[in-house]
Structure 1
Amino acid sequence: MSHVGEYSKQIKWIQFVAFPFFVGISLWIWFASQAGDQNLQLIIGLGVIPTTYFYLACLFVMLENKRIVKLLKPIGRVGQMAFTNYLAQSFIGLAIISCMGLEVVSPSDVVIIAILIFVIQMIFSVIWFKFFKMGPFEKVWRFMTYGRKTVPNK
């Protein structure tokens, strides 16, 4: 990530070129969806590449800002223990559903539950990395792969 600054001119050029395509295709998709156009999926497909370039260029520019990097650090911690969090999300979701007393989960409940799970995982991950260098299941996986302890605790 430290080399991104070397390419800032090229990244800003990509933003400048991709932005009109992004706006144009976004408007085209919106109008096509409002009109019930049968070619909507094709239009969306045409927008994938310019939209991806625009989003990535914006992300690279944003991540050059130290405050934004610091703000997004908890999300990065969740990613650092992705296997642990993947395994835990079912149990956390089940606990939340049980506490809410839901027998049938509506789409709006799913959104609320997903947000709660992610917040819980961010808090857990940040706390975990204050004491350890990797997640618990990542450590087990690494031990099973290499047969020895490879990364010590802090």
Structure 2
Amino acid sequence: MALTNKDKKELALSLFLNTDKSQKEIAARLEVSENTLSTWANAGGWATIKGANTATRPQIIADLYQQISLIKDKAVDDEGKRRVMNTHETQAIRMISKSISELDKRLSIDTYITVIEEMMTWLFEVAPALAKSIMPKVDGFVDSKFKELS
């Protein structure tokens, strides 16, 4: 049975996100034009999705610190000497620093939840009664971490 365009688009997205194949290779494999694949990718924001899926916390934070460094490096006078940063520069650094702080909070709670979900899935397989009995305490722990990190 031939794939529909919807099926091809979904498969193309999967190949784009989960392999290192080029758009040209994906288009050839699915027997669609490169223009069609490019349209799907642009309309769906595939590059952004792939970047978000592959970006790690340390990479994101390093990039943000690099932005701060670039702002500081540009704070020089006409003679190339360091100068006091202007309001725009200090506000930009403040916003980036806040982003780093918020990113730490968000990713930390995500990490807690991911680990707990994995643990509870495993526990339900090996000791269902125990898993059920501790679930209220686990929920309480997650709630307390959420409040702490919010």
Which TM-score applies when normalising by structure 2?
0.29
Question: Higher Cα Rg: structure 1 or 2?
Answer: 2
| TM-score, structure 1 normalization | 0.28
